[in-house]
Structure formats: structure tokens, C-alpha cells
Structure 1
Amino acid sequence: MDHSAKEKEAIALVAEADKKIKSPQGFLGTLFGNSSRAEEACEMYVRAANMFKMAKNWSAAGGAFCKAARLYCQVDNKLNGAVSYIDAGNAYKKSDPEEAVKCLSHAIEIYTDMGRFTIAAKHHITIAEIYESEMLDIEKAVEQYEQAAEYYKMEESTSSGNKCLLKVATYTAQLEQYHKAIEIYEQIGTYAMDSTLLKYGAKDHFFKAALCHFCVDMLNAKLAVQRYEGMFPAFSDSRECKLLKKLLDAHDEQNVDAYTDAIKEFDTITRLDQWQTTMLLRIKKTIQDEESDLR
């Protein structure tokens, strides 16, 4: 494919569309006197944007989609405006993450005004992922996941909302905001234990909540484990619960070797993920610190 030919064609189309809406009678007069002209210009911008995409010129594609989006909104075609902002955001994702976030945010505004909260939530997740992978701003990603969760809950999409909240819990625990993470893990664990389909996952949520408690202090962790066993008897039999009890004992005895052995033994059967490993290392450090304090 000849990229430069596509690009030239796209540039010419954008210029033609610009001309169409900047006719002698003045922009607004033309627009509202002849909205079909504006619609034609929008279609040209979109066609140009797609050609830029074929030429892999992501910034120009984003720019052309944006022109279409703004024009659609001016002639009150909100839905097409939102779609064009999403297309702009997806193009900019490859070249300019900040612009991508702006475009997706414009689309979200339109969707929430229209009461379409599920689709707004989906785009909040896209923004969260941009913050996670492109901009490495975890706190902003957390805000986006929280907003998405809120919209999903409003629309009774509990499981989609919970997926977003689990992301929030993962990150807030990493940021050492343990109380917030505990609240989410306990809430989702309680929700899961009452569901036939989700029951199996409940132990993981309680396990993670207990590890967060442990990072705050040991007494909290001990009481939490007892509480989870009372609420959800199946938790008592789980390997996770048995591991927690061994870790609590090792912590009690200030025995780093027993602590490490318990984790190794668990890990040979059930692989610990990166997050769990991080939390367990933080807890281990508290034993080591306390040990050196005693010397």
C-alpha cells in the first residue's frame, strides 16, 4: 500500500471539508442554514481519518476524527459526535496518550448526558488502561476504575463493577492504602460467597483482605481470619486459610524461616501471583525489622 498517496488524498479531503464549512456566508449561518453541508463535511473528515489510519499517521487520523466530532456536536448530532471522539481517542492512543484521554473524556460526557452509563463505564476503563500502560499514573487509573465501577453499579452490572473495584483494590494496596483495599476485598468476598457461581473465588478475596490486614498489624489479621471463618466456613478448609494461620504463628514467634517455608510449601501447589508476593514480602520485612529491634 502506498502510504504517501493515501496521506495526500486524506490531506486534500480535509482541506475540502474545511472549505465546505467556511463558505462566504460565514460559518454558523451556513451550518445551521444547511446542515446537510455540515454532515457532508463530517463524512469527509471521517473518510480522511480512515485514510490517515491506513497510512499509519495516527496523529492526523485523531485530528480528523476530532474535527468530525466537534462539527457533529455543533449540528446537534451528539451520537455521531461521541462515536467520532471514540475513534479519535483510539487513533491518538498510538501516538499521543494525553490527547486520547481528552477525546475519550468528551465522548464520556456525551454518553452520560444521554444516560448511557454502561458505555461510559467501558470508556472510563479504556482511559484507566492508558494511564496504567502509557502514562504510568496509577492514582489516575484508580480514579477511572472507581468511576467505571460506580456507573456499572448504577446499571445493576454488579460483576462488571466488581472487576473494576478489584483493580482499585490491587492498586490501593500497592500504594499502601490498606483500609480501602480491605473494604473492597471484604465486600466482594461477601458478595461472592452467597453466589453458587462465584463461591469458589470468595476465598481469594478473603485471603487478599487478610494479607492487607497483616500489613496494617498482626492483631487485625488474626481477628479478620477468625471473622472470615465464621462468615464462610469453607474458608477454614482452604489452603489459603491454613497458610495465613502458619504465617501468623511464624510472626508470633518472630521466626522468619518458618514464615518463608510456609510460603514455599504453598507456592509449590498454588502459584502466588506478583501482588501476593509483594504483600508477603512486606509482611516478612516487618518480622525481620522486629527481629533486629530485639537484638
Structure 2
Amino acid sequence: MADNEERALKLIAEAEKKMRSSEGFFGMFSRSAKLEDASELYQRAANMFKMAKKWSAAGNAFCESASIQLRLASKHEAASNFVDAGNCYKKSDPPEAVNCLHRAVEIFTDMGRFTIAAKHHISIAEIYESEVMDIEKAISNYEQAADYYRGEESNSSANKCLLKVALYAAQLEQYPKAIEIYEQVAATAMDSSLLKYSAKDYFFKAALCHMCVDLLNAQHAIQKYEEMFPAFADSREYKLVKTLLAAAEEQNIDAYTDAVKDYDSITRLDQWLTTILLRIKKGISGDPDLR
């Protein structure tokens, strides 16, 4: 470990020496070559720091290399170095990782590389949802990724991003936004023989979001989904929603709880479904502290 760090520091010193020599009068005639050499030395140093698990130092070295590549107008190489820096900073400084990835995204979008930019917006979103814990910014980056994917006709990738947006929008009680996305993605899935089966799950989640807002609208939504996608009416999810609606209208907490337990005994509830179903239950009971 120590040997790798020492080698990295020597490479940094060598790179700095190359940078200084490129600034003098005599160095100007071979400036590009010296800058290229310095950039390569910073990259080698970064990899040595990675082997020593000195993640911030590695990120710094990749950033130095990226800055040099921008001076050389090598946009792709600069962006790639910012991505490498971001990947290092993820392990030591998540906010700085976000900054580096944003710089890479700016370069890739300027180059018209929107699919790559979308991929890195997803990486940023994942940092916000798991490290920085800022769900609003995670949503924003997933939405931007979806926009870029749609522009490139990568609709499947766009829908994956939108489903993440819907999941978090519902968690933040932004139900109309979640409903719109689930209905949109369900309609798209219905047109695909490979994805058709998943449409029932999206209609199911949209129906639950409706129940969080208004039971009458939920009834109308269920009827609409059944007409749009008759197979939905044969699903366990449809039967559960119908049972929950009946229990909600009667304010029958026991019937509601039993229906959820029966469903969970066959299809395990994930955290999202558990949260949404609890919110509906609280609304039925009128008890905000119900668990």
C-alpha cells in the first residue's frame, strides 16, 4: 500500500514538473506533447492511489488530468477522467463525486452524447438516494436521464428511470405525478408482447396511489384500467384493490388488514407497497398514528 502511494506521489511530482516546463518560452514549442505527458502521469498516479485505497487523492489526480485534457480540447478524454474521478470520490466524498459527474455530463451533452450523459445522470441519482440522501435531487436526475433516453429512442431505459421517479414521488406523497407515470408506462407495456404482463403491476400501483388521494377516483381508475387491459381483472392485484376499496368504503379495518395479509402470504410485500398500504389504512381509520 505504502509503496503504491509513494510511487503515486513521485508521478505527481513528475507531472507537475512537466506542467511547469510547458509554460516557459522554450517549452511553448512542445507544449501539447508535454501536456499530454503530464495528463498521462496524473492518470498513472491516480491508478497508484486507487491501489493504495487513497480515494480522494486518486480523484484529485484524475481531475488534474481532466483539466489538462480540456486545455488540449480533448473533450472525450476529459469527460472520461471526470467520470473516473467521480467513481473514486464515491468512496470518500459523495458530494464531490456528484460535482465530477456533472462536469462529465456537461461535456458529453455538449458533444451530443446523450445516452452516455443519461447513464451518468443515473449514477448521480444513485448517489443522492444512497449516500447524500436527497430524494428530490435523485428524482430530478432520473427525470433528466429519462428525457435524454427518450430523445435517443431508448424508451425501455427511459421507462426504467421514470419508474424510479414514480416510486419516489409516491413516497413523497406526490401522488398525481406517480399516477401519471405508472399509467404512462403501463400503456407502453401493453403494446409489447414481452412487457405486457408487467402492465398489471403498474396499474396496481397507480390504483393504490389513487386510494391515497380519493376513493371515488380510485373506483373510476380501476374501471378504466379494466377496460384498457382486461387481463388486469384476472390478476390477484386487481382482486386485492377491489377488496381494499370495499373495506375502505365500509371503514372495515379488519377486512382491510385480512386482505393485505392474504396477499402477503403469497406475494411478499416490499417496503414501498407496505408504506403505501399503511397510509391508506391510516386514512380509513382516521388515526394518523396507526401502525
TM-score range, shorter chain: over 0.9
Q: How many residues align?
A: 288
Q: Give, in angstroms, the shift of residue 33 of structure 1.
A: 5.0
- Which of 89, 101, 106 in structure 2 is aligned with 1:104? 101
Q: Give, in angstroms, the shift of residue 24 of structure 1.
A: 7.4
- For 1:21-61, what per-residue CA distance to the aligned partner results, in whole angstroms no more than 9, with x for missing partners? 1127449x946852011000000000000000000000000
Say whether the 8 Å CA contact 2:2–2:52 is kept in structure 1: yes
Match of 1:4 in 2: 2
TM-score (norm 1): 0.95
Alignment of 1:188-207 (within 5 A): 188-207=185-204
Match of 1:18 in 2: 16
Match of 2:67 in 1: 70
Q: Percent identity?
A: 66
Say whether the 8 Å CA contact 1:170–1:181 is kept in structure 2: yes
Task: Determine helix, strand or coil for the equivalent of 1:271.
Answer: coil
TM-score (norm 2): 0.96
Question: Does the C-alpha gap of structure 1 residues 47 and 233 become closer, same or farther in structure 2, counting only changes over 3 Å?
Answer: same
Please list every run of 5 or more consecutive structure 2 residues that lacks an aligned counterpart in the other structure. Answer: none
Task: Determine helix, strand or coil for the equivalent of 1:196.
Answer: coil
Please list every run of 5 or more consecutive structure 1 residues that lacks an aligned counterpart in the other structure. Answer: none
Say whether the 8 Å CA contact 1:21–1:31 is kept in structure 2: no
- For 1:234-266, what per-residue CA distance to the aligned partner results, in whole angstroms no more than 9, with x for missing partners? 011111111111111101111000001111111
CA distance in structure 2 between the aligned counterparts of 1:14 and 1:192, rounded to whole angstroms: 53
CA distance in structure 2 between the aligned counterparts of 1:94 and 1:249, rounded to whole angstroms: 50
Task: Determine helix, strand or coil for the equivalent of 1:236.
Answer: helix
Q: Specify the code of the residue in structure 1 equivalent to 2:189.
A: A
Question: Are 2:285 and 1:277 equivalent residues in the alignment?
Answer: no
Q: Which contiguous aligned blocks of 4+ residues in structure 1 show a shift greater than 6 angstroms?
A: none
- Which of 215, 237, 245 in structure 1 is aligned with 2:242? 245
Question: Are 2:126 and 1:129 equivalent residues in the alignment?
Answer: yes
CA distance in structure 1 between the aligned counterparts of 2:224 and 2:22, rounded to whole angstroms: 75
Task: Determine helix, strand or coil for the equivalent of 2:132.
Answer: coil
Q: Give, in angstroms, the shift of residue 267 of structure 1.
A: 1.3
Question: Does the C-alpha gap of structure 1 residues 24 and 90 become closer, same or farther in structure 2, counting only changes over 3 Å?
Answer: closer
Match of 2:167 in 1: 170
CA distance in structure 1 between the aligned counterparts of 2:107 and 2:47, rounded to whole angstroms: 23
